[in-house]
Structure 1
Amino acid sequence: MEILSEQELHNLAMNVVGKDLEAKGFEFIAVNSKLKKDPQFVCLKNKKLHFVVVKAVLYPENPKEFDVVYMEIMREHALKFKARTYYAGVGIANAENYEEPVVRDRNYVINYDGIQEIV
């Protein structure tokens, strides 16, 4: 049993959010899947710039909760580019037992309610 690394969990979260943004009509300008490099997505929609910060969150943490101070710093950075800022928390858990780590080639569950605008 091989436990997924932090980068692999982050990539899973990126895929979930990327598909959601695409379905909502966002056009990708830049995508950065490296850990600790924010924002992960720089997008255009309706000729407006959007910064999206993606975070993979393991059970039992709440994927909707974010670091308010950090996201305010990101929002101030985005404002310099006249961009809107969003947080996308993606909860990931082992499907067979939420208390167990997420492992390669085993089922997992996703808890994702979409992007949250930081205003």
Structure 2
Amino acid sequence: MLTPLSEQELHQLAMNIVGKEMEELGYEFLSINSKPKKDPQFVALKDKFLHFVVVRAVTYPANPVHYDEKLLHMMRDHGKKYKARTYYAGVGLANSRNYEMPVHHQDDYVVNFAGLIEIK
């Protein structure tokens, strides 16, 4: 029987994808919070600037670049207190055999990640 990934597992997968990308871009992690909706997920330094990154796992058919503006503007305002830049990282995940099916432990998946989106 196929077992779909839980919300926590989808979030962990998204965190791993974003974390790897940030590592490759030269970010130094100060804090990582892997709990879904406990924001920000990453607090990092790059080029002597503080960065807050909110990560969301988004399943098909939702668009991973669309975000909760109220939440992200609240995070941006919070970040300004620390002179931090705030980013949204939406990671689209879909079952590679059939986008309409949930992502399962037994199947490959497709990733739709456009990178970090700065919230200004």
Give the TM interval when normalised to the shorter protein: over 0.9
* Alignment match, 1:114: 115
CA deviation profile, 1:66-117 (whole Å, cap 9, x unmatched): 0111100000011111100000000000000000011112100000010000
Structure 2: unaligned runs, 5 residues or longer: none
Q: Please, what TM-score do these two structures have when normalized by structure 1?
A: 0.99
Moved over 6 A (4+): none
1:62 aligned residue: 63
Q: Shift of the alpha carbon at 1:35? A: 1.1
Counterparts of 1:42 and 1:18, CA distance in 2: 11
SS class of match (1:78):
helix
RMSD: 0.5
Match of 2:39 in 1: 38
Provide the rounded CA distance (Å) in 2 between the counterparts of 1:10 and 1:4: 10
TM-score by length of 2: 0.98
Is 1:88 paired with 2:118? no
Mean Cα displacement is larger for which, 85-94 or 105-114? 105-114
Task: Please list every run of 5 or more consecutive structure 1 residues that lacks an aligned counterpart in the other structure.
Answer: none
Give, as a single letter, the amino acid of the residue that structure 1 aligns with 2:89: A
The answer for the alignment partner of 1:53 in structure 2 is 54
User: How many residues in Structure 1 have an aligned counterpart in Structure 2?
Assistant: 119
